[in-house]
Structure 1
Amino acid sequence: MQEDFLHYIWKHKKFLTANLKTETEESVFITSVGQHNLNAGPDFFNAQLKIGNQVWAGNVEIHVKSSDWFLHNHEKDEAYDNVILHVVWEHDTEVFRKDNTVISTLVLKNILESSILYNYKSLFRKQNKWINCENDFASIDSFILNNWMERLYFERLQRKAETIEVLLKDSKNDWEAVLFKMLTKNFGLKVNGESFFSIAQSIDFSIIRKTQSKQETLEALLFGQAGLLEQDFQNGYYLNLVKEYRFLKQKFILENKQVLPLYFFRLRPLNFPTIRLSQLASLYNTHQNLFSKIIETSDLDDFYDLFKVLTSVFWETHYTFQKESKASKKILSKSFIDLLLINTILPIKFCYAKHKGEEVDTNIIKIASAITSEKNSIIDAFNNLKKISKSSLESQALIQLKTEYCNKNKCLKCAIGNTLISRNI
């Protein structure tokens, strides 16, 4: 028996409430179970109960065994002086207040609805399952799933917003600078994301503002900080970049010692850091006030137009500085822009709206619902259980579900787990 399950039982009153009695045969009437406390102190604050003829307002503490009170040293903690009811699975000893009066005890073991315990044990029965509810996931009502997916999506947005908040504080509320760092990281994708982020961290955004009017200057800055201009290549474009970067390095006193190495190995050529950095430079050369444009944009097609940028001419026939390749226009693909929207743009819009006290949830849902679902092992596994992920809203929600609930066995805090535990047998 787990204590968090007992919290769930008490919080949702999943027990027979008629004719409740304490261990000393006093009647118990519950007006309010109280507010669930997830921090230090008693488990439920401000409960309202009638025990015998006495009306009480105070806290409720929950344990598997009554003796856990002493195991956790609650008798020495003043925070527990206002406990009015001790709720346990098994009663094995009396618990006293400091004035030696007994704290009333309610035992759940004999009043729990039988279906609840059966469903709980079935859900957490280990059988080498990918997730605890995989045998029943497909049977969950679509209305419950859809509402839960939306909530999970905003939970994931909130997690990404926390990263943005840290960057915002570091940049003294410079939203353009934060956007640049977030976009740069996501231009690096999974393999080079941290390396690209370290490049962005090595450049004060004021320097980007001063150099973005000329694409080759901005490319020199990005390639130079990335450590890509330290070879002896003999072509005009490369030599011009080296010359420009030396000037910028001296002018702005640039350092790149903390920049992480870039990787080309096993990447598709279109994802080579050279191509992505050139496209990033093109984006900032094309849009002088990118943050403002992103905040003003609310339609998915308009975002695709906003991010429709190419590399500079040299990269139309190259993937690296050395080898020439077949000529091709290397424009940001729709799928790549989708990733930028999912991981940078929508979190930024969400975070900015919170700062301004504005409501943008409806627009964010509209955009996220219009973006095609991501494809990865988590999404594939859920879709094998039930065809559920049609858009980025669902795919992001399912990633949140798997990483923050399923992997951590938080079924009791999950709408799906709650539904399965509450089912009648």
Structure 2
Amino acid sequence: MKEDFLHYIWQYKKFDFANLKTTSGENLSIFNVGNFTQLAGPDFFNAQIEIDNQKWAGNIEIHIKSSDWYVHNHERDENYDSVILHVVWEHDAAIFRKDNSEIPVLEIKKYVSPILIHQYEKLRTTKSWIYCENEIKTIPDFVFKNWQERLFFERLERKSNPIEILLLENKNDWEATFFCFLAKNFGLNTNGESFFKVAQSIPFSIIRKESFEVENLEAILFGRANLLEHDKEDNYFKDLKQRWEYIQNKYQLENIFINSVQFFKHRPDNFPTIRLSQLANLYHTHQNLFSKVISAKNIEELHQIFNVSVTEYWQIHYNFDKISPKKAKSLSKSFVDLLIINTIIPFRFAYEKSLGKETSEENIQFLEQITSEKNAIIDKFKSVGITSKNAFESQSLLQLKNEYCNKNKCLQCVVGLELLKN
């Protein structure tokens, strides 16, 4: 037995309300079970009950055993002074307030259907990947689609939190904040954190001022990423290093330690040299990139904005000093789709939220036009009967797995609640 099941029973009134009695034999009537807040303090606030014709208004605390009250040290916490009823599965100890009055107890297991208990135990015991893997495909399509939309917005909320924190640090400069997170996603999983620190360490006013010369932007990004440290014979390397030293001195940029970017296990087109050159070209081409991204009305417009490649030098190089066959190395459609999913849509959401607006339907439509992500989680959902047709659906499934299935929150999940209801 878990407390989350008791919360579910109480919140959704899944017990027999008739002829309730406290463990002391007093008649108990429930008028309002209260609000489940999931915050510090009692589990349910503002409940209304009646015990032997005496009406009470206050809070409800729920435990597996009565003695858990002392295990959790509630007797020392004034937040629990307002508890009017202790709801437990098993009553094993009397609980007293600070004034030595006993808190009434409802031992709820006497009033719960054995069928519901069986359904709960079944839901919690069958698992090789997720608990509901054998039943999830039986959930009505309408119910599951609505749940996916809620999951999608939960995921956007989670992604918008670090955006809002950095935005505050950047004194509400959306362009500067966007630059940092866009750089992070240009670095992918391996170099994302290093690229993020590179972008964070450069005042965005410098990017604005130097954006008219793409070589200067490359010099700044490569210099901060420690790609200009060791001497090389290559003339372009020498030019970038000279530019970086001049810019560093011009703007009095301090030396900052940033972990070296990684080339190992990357396809050449994902080398940090290539991605940083593409990022430099992007900001050379668009001086107000965030504004353009926010005002885009369709996904084709976004793809056009990100239709950039590398500078001429990097068309025939992947590393300094090593010539390779010429290739434009433009941002691929699949890479831009990743940027839309992980950076652009979260920023559009955060921006609309800052204006007090509801998320526009365009954001969902953008993701519905992008092919579903391919990873182990999406593949596993497919194996249990849940397919993902687009990025909107794959994002919601990632939220479901990471925030509910992995954390065993079956009774906070619409799928789990629907299975118990059935």
Partner of residue 24, structure 2: 24
8 Å CA contact 1:50–1:56 kept in 2: the answer is yes
Give secondary structure in 2 for the equivalent of 1:63. Answer: strand
Distance of 2:70 and 2:347 partners within structure 1: 48
Partner of residue 380, structure 1: 379
Partner of residue 295, structure 1: 294
Instruction: Note closer, same or farther for the CA distance 1:87–1:329 as it changes in structure 2 (3 Å cut).
Output: same
User: Where do 5+ consecutive residues of structure 1 fail to align?
Assistant: none
Distance of 1:371 and 1:210 partners within structure 2: 35
8 Å CA contact 2:126–2:132 kept in 1: the answer is no
Instruction: Note closer, same or farther for the CA distance 1:88–1:284 as it changes in structure 2 (3 Å cut).
Output: same
- The one-letter amino acid paired with 2:240 is L
8 Å CA contact 2:91–2:107 kept in 1: the answer is yes
Q: CA deviation at 1:343?
A: 1.0
Partner of residue 120, structure 2: 120
Distance of 1:208 and 1:141 partners within structure 2: 51
8 Å CA contact 1:33–1:48 kept in 2: the answer is yes
Distance of 1:186 and 1:73 partners within structure 2: 45
Distance of 2:322 and 2:77 partners within structure 1: 72
Partner of residue 308, structure 1: 307
Q: CA deviation at 1:56?
A: 1.7
Deviations 1:76-101 (A, max 9, x none): 44332322212111122333344444
Give secondary structure in 2 for the equivalent of 1:64. Answer: strand
Distance of 1:414 and 1:403 partners within structure 2: 12
Partner of residue 103, structure 1: 103
Deviations 1:137-193 (A, max 9, x none): 221221121111111111111111111111111111111100100111100011110
* Stretch of structure 1 that moved more, 75-84 or 218-227: 75-84
Partner of residue 255, structure 1: 254
8 Å CA contact 1:316–1:328 kept in 2: the answer is yes
Distance of 1:134 and 1:239 partners within structure 2: 58
Q: CA deviation at 1:289?
A: 0.7
> How many aligned positions are there?
422
Distance of 1:246 and 1:62 partners within structure 2: 64
- The one-letter amino acid paired with 1:35 is N
Instruction: Note closer, same or farther for the CA distance 1:196–1:71 as it changes in structure 2 (3 Å cut).
Output: closer
Give secondary structure in 1 for the equivalent of 2:55. Answer: strand
1:3-402 to 2 correspondence within 5 Å?
3-125=3-125, 127=127, 129-402=128-401
Instruction: Note closer, same or farther for the CA distance 1:100–1:216 as it changes in structure 2 (3 Å cut).
Output: closer
Partner of residue 415, structure 1: 414
Identity rate, percent: 54
- The one-letter amino acid paired with 1:304 is H
Deviations 1:214-253 (A, max 9, x none): 1111111111111112333333322221221221121112
Distance of 2:339 and 2:77 partners within structure 1: 50
8 Å CA contact 2:281–2:310 kept in 1: the answer is yes
- The one-letter amino acid paired with 2:45 is F
8 Å CA contact 2:14–2:112 kept in 1: the answer is yes
- The one-letter amino acid paired with 2:213 is K
Distance of 1:233 and 1:414 partners within structure 2: 57
Distance of 2:74 and 2:30 partners within structure 1: 24
- The one-letter amino acid paired with 1:53 is N
- The one-letter amino acid paired with 2:14 is K
Distance of 2:58 and 2:306 partners within structure 1: 57
User: Where do 5+ consecutive residues of structure 2 fail to align?
Assistant: none
Instruction: Note closer, same or farther for the CA distance 1:362–1:84 as it changes in structure 2 (3 Å cut).
Output: same
Please, what TM-score do these two structures have when normalized by structure 1?
A: 0.95
* Stretch of structure 1 that moved more, 229-238 or 184-193: 229-238
Deviations 1:22-77 (A, max 9, x none): 23333332221001132222211110122232222111111112222333333344
Instruction: Note closer, same or farther for the CA distance 1:257–1:102 as it changes in structure 2 (3 Å cut).
Output: closer
Please, what TM-score do these two structures have when normalized by structure 2?
A: 0.96
